[in-house]
Structure 1
Amino acid sequence: MEQTKFLLDERELPESWYNLVADLPFALDPPLDPATRKPVGPEALAAIFPEEIIRQEVSTERYIPIPEEVREIYSLWRPTPMFRARRLERYLDTPAHIYYKYEGVSAPGSHKPNTAVPQAYYNREAGVKRLTTETGAGQWGSSLAFACRLMGMECTVYMVRVSYEQKPYRRVMMQTYGAEVYPSPSEKTGAGRRVLQEDPQTTGSLGIAISEAVEDAASSEDANYSLGSVLNHVLLHQTVNGQEAMKQMEMAGEWPDVVIGCAGGGSNFGGFAFPFLRENLVNGKKTRFIAVEPSSCPTLTKGRFTYDFGDEAGMTPMLKMYTLGHDFVPAGIHAGGLRYHGDSPILSALVHEGLVEARAYPQNPTFEAGVTFARVEGILPAPEVNHAIKAAIDEALAAKEAGEERVIAFNLCGHGHFDLGAYERYLAGELVDLEYSEEEIEQAVARIPG
C-alpha cells in the first residue's frame, strides 16, 4: 500500500519558533508614529501587549524557545498530519505530487491556536486578566477563546458583522469556551458607534473590529489586546507548522517545487511557508511560493505598498505593507478570514522583493475547487483555504499540460464544518462573485494617507 499519511511523534514537536527576520536579505521598514511619521520603538506597543510579546515582535534572533507549558498544550493536536493527495492527483490525471498539511485537527479547527496559546500564556504570566480581539470568520476568535479558557482568563471578541450573521455556530463555539462576542461595529465602543452612525447597514470589516478591540483594551486597566495575524510575533508562532512540514516532506523523500497558502493577514501563509523559504535564502533551494487572496479584497495583487494604519480608526502605528486603505470595507464574501485591507509587513516585503508570488481568485472558482477536494479527498475545507486549493489544482494542471513532474505543498489551514451555509448557497447556484471594479479599487487606494 502506498503511504498517504506522514505522521510525526509528539517528541518531534518543535522546541523553538523560527524567525525569518534573521535571514531576510533586506531590512524591514519600521512602524511609524501617525502624528510625527517618525519611527516608533517598542514602547508604543506597551499599552496593549505584554513585554515578552513586544520583545518577540522586534526580535532578530533566528530561533526563540517555546515555553514548555505551551508545548504541552500544543501536544493536544500537534504535530499535525501531512497527507499525499493521491486521489486528487488521480482525479486531475496529473504527474504532479500534491501534499497538504492539515491544521483542522486542533480543537477550534484551524491553525490559529498556534499563536493564540502563547499569546494567552504570556499575557497571563504578565498578570493580565482579560484579552480583547477581533475576528473575521471566527477561527481566530474561537482559538483565542479556547486559549483564554485554558489559561483561566476572560476573552472579549469583536466579530465582523457579516461573519457574525453568516457563521452563527462559530459565535456559539466562542461562547461555549466562555467568551463575550459582539457583532462589529458595535455600540460598545466609540469607534463602533461612529461607524454605525455613518452607515447603519455596514457589513463591517477586520479594520473596524481591530479598532474596537484596541480601544477596549487600551481603556481597561486589566485587559490587553491580542492579534491573530499580520504582526511579526504572530507569524513567528505559526512556524511550528512549517517546521513540522519540512520533516514530513523529508519522510516522503521529496521537496516542494511550489509552496502555497491563502493570505488574508499573512499568518497562515507565513507559518507554513517561512521555514521552507529559509532554505531558498540560506541553502539555495529553488522553491516557488504563492500567496493566494480573494479578488474581492486584492491587497497583495492590487494594493499599494506604503505606510497605512492597521485599523479603520487610525489608532495603531502605521505599518509598511500592501494595503487597499484602512477605510476599505471588503465585500461580504464567505472567506471572512481573508477580508483584511492590509497584509503582514513581512509578507508584503517578500512580495515586493519578488520572493513570493501573489495570486487572486473570485469566490465561485474557489468553492468549485473546495467541493472537488471534498469529493475526492473527503475533508470539507474552510472557504479561506479553498483559495490555496484552487491554486494547487491550477499548478497540478499546468504540470500536466507541460508533461512534467511537480511537487506541490499547501496548507489546509482549517475545516469548513461551520461553513455549510456557504456551501449550501454554492451548491444551489446562489453564490455570487462579489467584486469591486478597477475604478473602485483605484479610488480606495488613492485615499491611503501614506
Structure 2
Amino acid sequence: MENDMKHIPYKTYLSEDELPKAFYNVRADMKTDHRPLLHPETLKPVTVEDLAPIFSTELAKQELNDTDRFIPIPEEILSFYKMYRPSPLVRAYCLEKELDTPAEIYYKYEGGNTSGSHKLNSAIAQAYYAKQQGLKGITTETGAGQWGTALSMACAYFGLDLKVFMVRCSAQQKPYRKVLMETYGATVTPSPSHTTKMGRAFLEKDPDSSGSLGMAISEALEVSMGEPGYRYTLGSVLNQVLLHQSIIGLETRAALDRLGVEADIVIGCAGGGSNLGGLLAGFMQDKLSGKKAPYMIAVEPASCPSLTMGTFAYDYCDAGKVTPLAKMYTLGATFVPPSGHAGGLRYHGMSPILSQLYHDGF
C-alpha cells in the first residue's frame, strides 16, 4: 500500500477537457433489448407520440432510442456539468487499511455538488429539455429528497416551476430536505396527499399510509397531465435517466485507464437503477461485446429487494396503474415497503435495462 501511495493519489481528477461529450446508450449494444413499454390501455408498444403528453418530446425520443450508441450532450448541459464535473475517483486507502485487505479499492464520489448526489446529472438534462420545449414547469416524485433537491436546483437554474410529491414518511423524517427544495423555489407536497384524486384514493384505503414512490409518481403524473405546459420527470428507472447517468461510468473508466488500473469487480447500489446503471456504463460495452470486463455486483435493500425477490414481468411503474407497463423485476406496483430512512431505495421495480441485463446473466 505504501508503494501505491507514492504513485496513485487519493483523488484522481480528469480535466474539464476530458469531460465526456456524449451519453452512452447501452441499449445499442444489448444482445437482447429490453421488452417494449406497453400502453396501459391498448397494451401495445408505446410510441413517441404516446409518451409526449408525459415527458418532454426529446426525453420521449431518448426513452425509446435503441440504435444510437452515443448521444451528444448539449453545450448548455456540458457548461453546467463543468461546475462540479468531472467528479473525483478516490482511492480508499484508509478503508483498505481498516479491512487489512490486499484489494485496491476505489470509489467514484458524486456528492461534491450543491444538490449532494449524482441525481443532478439527469436533473439538469431533464430540466434543459423541458426549457428548450418552452414548458412552464414540471412535476416529479422524490423519496429521501435527493432527486427532488437536484431537480429543484435545475429548475431554478432554467427558470422552471417545479411541483414535488415527496413520500410521506421521508417528508416526516427529513423536513430539512423539504426546506431545501422550497429554498430553490419548488412546491413540495407529502404523498399521499388530499390534493389529487389518486392521493385521496390511496388515503381512503389507508389514512395512515407512509407512502411510496409508486404513489408519489401517480400524484405527480396526475398533476402534470392536468395542467397545460407541464410534463412529468422521473429520477431513476427510466432509460433516459440511465443514459444521462452514464457520465459516471465513462469518467470512472477514463480515470482508471489514466492510472493504468484494470477493474476486477464493480459494485453499485441498486434502488431503481440510476446509480448502478450509470456506474456500469463505463464497462458494460466491453462485457456485451465479449471482451474482458469486470464482474458486476448490485447491492439492494433487503426491505425492497426487487432483483433478488421480485418477478421478471410486465408491471406498472406507479401504484395508481396509469403509467405504461415495463418489463422489469418487480415486487408489484402496489407494494409498500417499510418506512426506512433510505427513502430513495423504496421503489417496487428495477430499471428495465438493468432487469434485462440481469435476466440475461450479465
Scaled to the shorter chain, the TM-score interval is over 0.9
Identify the residue that residue 179 of structure 2 maps to in structure 1: 172
Distance, in Å, in 2 between the alignment partners of 1:350 and 1:178 is 38
Secondary structure of 2:289's counterpart equals: helix
Identify the residue that residue 206 of structure 1 maps to in structure 2: 213
Identify the residue that residue 271 of structure 2 maps to in structure 1: 264
- 2:30 maps to which of 24, 27, 50: 24
Does the 8 Å contact 1:270/1:347 carry over to 2? yes
- 2:235 maps to which of 228, 231, 235: 228
- 1:192 maps to which of 195, 199, 205: 199
Q: Deviations over 1:134-182 (max 9, x none)?
A: 0001000000000000001111100000100111111111011110000
Distance, in Å, in 2 between the alignment partners of 1:280 and 1:27 is 15
- 1:181 maps to which of 185, 188, 197: 188
Secondary structure of 1:273's counterpart equals: helix
Distance, in Å, in 1 between the alignment partners of 2:176 and 2:269 is 23
| CA drift at 1:35 | 2.9
Does the 8 Å contact 2:316/2:326 carry over to 1? yes
Q: Give the partner amino acid of 1:51.
A: T
1:320 and 2:323 correspond: no
Distance, in Å, in 1 between the alignment partners of 2:17 and 2:33 is 35
| CA drift at 1:283 | 5.5
Does the 8 Å contact 2:304/2:346 carry over to 1? yes
Secondary structure of 2:315's counterpart equals: strand
- 1:86 maps to which of 93, 117, 123: 93
Unaligned runs of 5+ in 1: 356-450
- 2:163 maps to which of 127, 144, 156: 156
Distance, in Å, in 1 between the alignment partners of 2:121 and 2:152 is 13
1:12 and 2:18 correspond: yes
Secondary structure of 1:97's counterpart equals: coil
Q: Give the partner amino acid of 1:327.
A: T
| CA drift at 1:207 | 0.1
Does the 8 Å contact 2:283/2:293 carry over to 1? no
Q: Give the partner amino acid of 2:103.
A: A
Identify the residue that residue 336 of structure 2 maps to in structure 1: 329
Q: Give the partner amino acid of 2:347.
A: Y
- 1:105 maps to which of 95, 100, 112: 112
Distance, in Å, in 1 between the alignment partners of 2:287 and 2:325 is 30
Distance, in Å, in 2 between the alignment partners of 1:281 and 1:289 is 12
Does the 8 Å contact 1:134/1:158 carry over to 2? yes
Identify the residue that residue 414 of structure 1 maps to in structure 2: none
CA RMSD across the alignment: 1.0
Q: Give the partner amino acid of 1:226.
A: T
Identify the residue that residue 54 of structure 2 maps to in structure 1: 48
1:70 and 2:62 correspond: no
Where does 1:27-38 land on structure 2 (aligned, <5 Å)?
27-38=33-44
Aligned identity (percent) is 54
Distance, in Å, in 1 between the alignment partners of 2:190 and 2:360 is 38
Distance, in Å, in 2 between the alignment partners of 1:113 and 1:301 is 28
| CA drift at 1:106 | 1.4
Distance, in Å, in 2 between the alignment partners of 1:305 and 1:135 is 25
Does the 8 Å contact 2:33/2:356 carry over to 1? no
Identify the residue that residue 353 of structure 1 maps to in structure 2: 360
Distance, in Å, in 2 between the alignment partners of 1:304 and 1:53 is 28
- 1:136 maps to which of 125, 133, 143: 143
Distance, in Å, in 1 between the alignment partners of 2:44 and 2:303 is 33
Q: Deviations over 1:10-64 (max 9, x none)?
A: 1111100000001101122111123332222222111121211111111120000
| CA drift at 1:291 | 1.1
Does the 8 Å contact 2:251/2:282 carry over to 1? no
Q: Give the partner amino acid of 1:307.
A: Y
Does the 8 Å contact 1:20/1:275 carry over to 2? no
Does the 8 Å contact 1:207/1:310 carry over to 2? yes
Does the 8 Å contact 1:10/1:75 carry over to 2? yes
Distance, in Å, in 1 between the alignment partners of 2:23 and 2:312 is 28
Identify the residue that residue 103 of structure 2 maps to in structure 1: 96
Distance, in Å, in 1 between the alignment partners of 2:275 and 2:134 is 29
Distance, in Å, in 1 between the alignment partners of 2:262 and 2:220 is 41
Distance, in Å, in 1 between the alignment partners of 2:198 and 2:262 is 47
